[in-house]
Amino acid sequence: MTIDAEVFHHLTKGAPEDAWRVIIDKAVEIASKPLAIGNAPSEVTRRDREIGTLDHFLSSSGWDLWQVFGETVERTSDRLVRWWDEPYSAKAVLILDGLSLRELPWLLQGAKERGFTLHEVAANASELPGETNEFARALGFGSRSQLQNNGGGLAHKLQPAHTECVDMAWKDCAGLIDATPGAKNWMFWHEWPDKKLHDGSGAGQGLDTLTRDAAEQLSSDDFWAFVERLTTGRRLVITSDHGYAATGLFFDAPDEQAAFLKTTFKSGRGVAGAADAGPFVPPVATQINSPHGVHLLAAGRWKWRSQGGYPTLAHGGLSLLEVLSPFVELSK
């Protein structure tokens, strides 16, 4: 697949802000089209590869754009804080850990079918690196686990809020929510799909398995009953801390680059601290200085052989579907 002429013009002639706006708008456009359960695995794979043309541009000629990504694209953590300041009577945030733009259609279709009102559909930036704890810290939590059993405390940025972090069935999650109109604000962090992602990351059909599970979970009556509980008397945002890369679809790096990537990252996508990015042009790794410090992150859609096998699903590097998070605002 190729990038059409108008999009390419914006990417190469416009300011970085314009380029990132075009890239993100195009990625959301591709990812958000309706899905059917029957052909979801093949269609999600096709869309992943279509978005890969934008990744190819970023890794082959537009790699400098990654240096301004954190400054140019609003981070989900900042967007949530800004949204939390809106004068709604009560609010709720549902963080689905590791949710990517691939899963966006199930949220849009489910909301429409079940009578919810969609107020905003967008994508924002993960923290860099795109990891769970970095996102939790950006919101003022020590870690994700701090939210358990209303342990969020009074130092985080979404005050006041009842907090929870669980890995439970949706029906059980709904039972935790006070459905009385005018009830308290909620900050609810669920460990799906990230836990499922890592459970299946070593399997050859990682994306296929996760796509089928996402279709089942996000189309279920239990999930939407949980969402309805959260929206009773509240405005709700569904988002994520980061997305994920379907690295099983990535290209094998050439020998010299593969040896460097294996030595530097092993089976991961990033390392902390200032490190050698290698002599390669275009680069296969980029040093990023973010609010979380200096990190060297794998850039582009490359995979390499590593001990135990390179995972087929991963996050923490620089590709669009691992650093963009859906942002869906709705009410009932």
CA dist 329 and 116 (Å) reads: 10
Which of 30-34, 189-193, 203-207 comes out lowest in average pLDDT? 203-207
CA dist 161 and 168 (Å) reads: 20
Residue 182 CB coordination number (10 Å): 10
| 96: in domain | yes
| 278: in domain | no
| 64: in domain | no
CA dist 11 and 188 (Å) reads: 37
Give CA separation, 273 vs 140, 149, 276, 293, in Å.
Answer: 22, 34, 10, 7
| 40: in domain | no
**Segment 6-13 mean pLDDT:** 74
| 240: in domain | yes
The model's confidence at residue 182, banded by pLDDT at 50, 70 and 90, is low
DSSP structural state of residue 193: T
Which of 4-8, 16-20, 125-129, 139-143 comes out lowest in average pLDDT? 4-8
Give CA separation, 220 vs 38, 111, 211, 216, in Å.
Answer: 15, 12, 14, 6
| 282: in domain | no
CA dist 24 and 269 (Å) reads: 21
Give CA separation, 200 vs 76, 88, 210, in Å.
Answer: 26, 39, 8
Tell whether the model's pLDDT for residue 66 goes beyond 80.
yes
**pLDDT, tens only, 235-289:** 999 999 999 999 999 999 999 999 999 999 999 999 999 999 999 999 999 999 9
Number of domains into which the chain is organized: 1
Q: What is the pTM of this model?
A: 0.96
| 237: in domain | yes
Which range of residues forms the domain containing residue 153?
75-245+321-331
CA dist 141 and 126 (Å) reads: 16
**pLDDT, tens only, 119-166:** 999 999 999 999 999 999 999 999 999 999 999 999 999 999 999 999
**pLDDT, tens only, 280-328:** 999 999 999 999 999 999 999 999 998 878 899 999 999 999 999 999 9
Residue found under tokens 């966006």: 104
Tell whether the model's pLDDT for residue 6 goes beyond 80.
no
| 98: in domain | yes
Give the residue among 277, 281, 279, 310 at the shortest CA–CA distance from 295.
277
